[in-house]
Structure formats: C-alpha cells, structure tokens
Amino acid sequence: MICSACNGRGERTIMGNPLLKQQCLPCRGKGKLQPNETVCSECNGNGEISVPGSQLNKQRCYICNGQGKTVNPIVLQPNAPVNIITGFHQTDPGSASQILSHGFKLGNAGIAGGGIYFALNKNDTNQKAHSHGTVLKCLVDVGRAKIMSKFEPALNGQKLAAEGYDSVFLPTGDGVNLSANEYVVYDPQRVKKIEKV
C-alpha cells in the first residue's frame, strides 16, 4: 500500500507548485518498504515535498514523516476492491432497523468527531458500541484514510476533506490507547452495503 499523502515519493507539492519540494514527513523521506510498511503516496517514496519559495527548498512530507512509507494498518482482504473494507457496527435493535431501512446517519460526537465508526471484526464492536444488541456488517468505501495517532473530537468531514482525506483510521497502540482498530467515515454514502449479522 502506498502512503496516501505523497504517493510513495517521500515528497509532495505545496500550493500546487510541483517544482518546489518538501521532505515527506510520514515516510521521513526514505521511500523504502519493510514487510509491514507501504510506499508513501504523498511523496512517492522520495521523502520530500514541494514548498513555496526556491526550487531547492525542501520540506519533509507530513503524512509519512519523510520516510516515503507508512505502516499498512490492516491485512488486505482477498478479492476486495481497493479502499473497500468490511466494517462492523453495533447498535440497539431499533436503531439497526432504521439503518437497514434508511441508511446510516452521522453521529454527534466521538474520539474522531461526529462520524460513522466501524470495527474490523464483529467482536470488537462489543467494547466500542454505545448501544448493544444488533451487529451490522457493512462494505465501506474508506477512500483516502488519514491515519490518526491522537484523538480529535472536533474533527468533521469538512475539516478532513480540506486535508485531502475521506476517512480516518485509528490504529491500536499508536498513542491513541484503543483496544481495537477502527475506521470512521463522515459521509453516509460511503457505506455501500449493510446487512444484519
């Protein structure tokens, strides 16, 4: 998987100027892969991105931290289209019926703001859900996911889109103190299929 910020180059452009380079922060400008890492898509593995000013002025890519690679957060699902995940969402039976009939609505709050939260397996929903009783299995188009290493309760879809992302991935262990990995989307249209487990 390629770092979505620098396209594996390790560098990215600033303000649309492709000649000025800045080191890609997420991949730290290295652009090399290890078994659990992917090429940074923001800097294409080069670790630098363009910045305003001189052509020689370079800054690190902030997505891969100048490394040109990012840690692959999940095991790829066989035969799944790119950026489509199987996610699980638990809620009470009444809300589940409404979701099955009319689709998801955005939540009001959460560790990554008011979005729709999905665990990567059914059992993880038991510790994440605010309401319990029914688990929904969904196909979710996560698009370009921002890997977050801290809670951002004020985040919303508009702020995320301004950063160039479609969703958030919250990994375990990376400073966020989560018990299980989860994705958050901010547009109900990104949920492509919903079924009761």
- Helix boundaries (H) for 146-191: 157-162
Give a yes or no: residue 77 inside a domain.
Answer: no
Dist CA 193 CA 31 (whole Å): 35
Choosing from 21, 36, 71, the residue where a domain stops is 71
Last residue in a domain, options 47, 71, 95: 71
The whole domain housing 28 covers 6-71
CA distance 129 to 82: 27
Is the pLDDT assigned to residue 19 strictly greater than 50? no
Q: Nearest to residue 69, comparing CAs of 1, 17, 169, 134?
A: 1
| pLDDT at 74 (0 to 100) | 43
Tell me, yes or no, whether 78 lies in a domain: no
Confidence check: pLDDT of 175 > 50: yes
Residue 96 has pLDDT above 90, yes or no: yes
Please check whether residue 162 lies inside any domain of the structure.
Answer: yes
Same-domain status, 64 and 100:
no
Domain count, the chain: 2
Asked if 66 and 90 sit in the same domain, the reply is: no
**Range in 29-43, 99-113, 140-154, 178-192 with the lowest mean pLDDT:** 29-43
Mean pLDDT estimate for the chain: 74
pLDDT digits 0-9 by tens, 130-157: 888 999 999 999 988 888 878 889 999 9
